[in-house]
Chain A
Amino acid sequence: MSAPGWVICQYCDALYRARALAPAQLARCASCRAVLGRGGRLDAGRLLALTVAAGIVFVIANASPVITLSAHGQFNHATLLQAVAAMLRGSDAAIGVMVGVTLFVVPLLQIALLAWVLAFARLRRRAPAFVPAMRVLQLIHPWSMTEVLLLGVLVAIVKLSASLSVITGAGTYAIVALTLLITLIAKRDTAALWELGGR
């Protein structure tokens, strides 16, 4: 645990003496029940492997069409970035910005920064620019919306299949996989990374 031996709850300011936790043990705040810490060492190697997998799936999810539509012999498809670009060109550029940031920029940054920090953590070292990287990760965390995209794709498929024929493909399945992987890597408690070797 951290050097001075105190743990402070970020939700209610309760103060506790730090205690070593056994693997799979969970420390909860006595007054507001927030999770204060988890036992067990962070397995940087495994987390890095998942992050690299997320990076590969991210490329597939963005390179292939999310949905393809066909109607009377005409085909139309859209990748995520094409959807963003279409919004940015139109009169509702604000929508393009919101969608582009939450579905492309933030997940990409999360994957890249986590890979950077974890690659060094595997060698029990702090990455160069560790503190800014961790700060950015914390700042962008609430704005990562891949799981909402998955639900959005499902809603769009139901909506469109009423009048047109909808074709799903690699891009659609890549979003399912990406949602799982991002949940595994980015929603993980990375507090243990702060305890890596000094400044």
Chain B
Amino acid sequence: MKVARARDFGLIGCRTCGLANVAAAGSCRRCGTPLAARKPASIGRTWALLLAALLLYIPANVLPVMYTSSLGTGSSSTILGGVVDFWHAGSWGIALVIFVASVAVPTVKFLVIGTLLVSSQRCSSWARLQRTQLYRAIEFIGYWSMLDVIVVALVCSLVQFQFIGTAEPRVGIVFFGLAVVLTMLAAMSFDPRLIWDAPAARRMGEG
């Protein structure tokens, strides 16, 4: 089925209120938001944020995220170490939840955003519907990765007992949190309409 695209008719949907505007207008008639046919420099910005997130994700996994001491003996744990501890303690459900939120979701996000960027840059017409659905899925699941940051903050503020035990955050969790924030920003800066743009439209547009 042939679908008409707003750009071909000189129309732009306002990103704030969704109203259809004439592209020449400059700003939205209803809410005054400046109009842009596509998010500015979407591909470049998304690559930059994605690579920065990938870079931070390395120390986030290598460095410890939490230090716990009880009765004089202390130990640090990494994100994966925490998953393994839950697994050995028999809490398989919790181990799975943390694995999904902290390892599976970020990894899938890196792969999906990377795939969307490469395929959009090549103006590929492959699986447009599925790529758009993948983008919506990434938008929807992305923030669940903040789970570990919240758990560390809760545990560390609670476990403050004299003699019995204390817990403190370690720098790995900062890298982890920043990596999650950057992947969210990367997803937001990608413009899914680029998936549908024909090569001719791209050359005329800002790209």
Contacts and interface: CB of A to CB of B under 8 A. Distances in A.
A33 B106 CA distance: 25
Contacts of A30: 1, 3
B2 to A, nearest CB: 9
B132 A149 contact: no
Interface stretch (A49-57, A88-96, A110-118): A88-96
Chain B, interface residues (CB within 8 Å), range: 35 or more
A10 B15 contact: yes
B158 A78 contact: yes
Given A95-B174, A194-B30, A103 B150 contact: yes
Interface string B157-190: 1111110110011110110011001001000100
Interface string B126-164: 001100110110010011101101111111111111101
B37 to A, nearest CB: 8
Interface in A33-89: 33-34, 66-67, 69, 71-72, 74, 76-78, 82-84, 86-87
| B-side interface mostly | helix
A76 B159 contact: yes
Contact of B94 (A86, A102, A145, A155): A155
A148 interface: yes
Interface residues of A, number: 65
B11 interface: yes
A70 B54 CA distance: 40
Interface of B: 1, 3-7, 9, 11-13, 15-20, 30-33, 70, 86, 89, 91, 94, 97-98, 101, 128-129, 132-133, 135-136, 139, 142-144, 146-147, 149-162, 164-165, 168-171, 173-174, 177-178, 181, 184, 188, 192-193, 195-197
Given A12-B192, A31-B128, A149-B150, 8 more contacts: A10-B18, A15-B11, A83-B156, A87-B156, A92-B174, A95-B173, A99-B150, A155-B97
Interface of A: 2-4, 6-15, 30-34, 66-67, 69, 71-72, 74, 76-78, 82-84, 86-87, 90-92, 94-96, 98-99, 102-103, 131, 134-135, 138, 142-143, 145, 148-149, 151-153, 155-156, 158-160, 162-164, 191, 194, 199
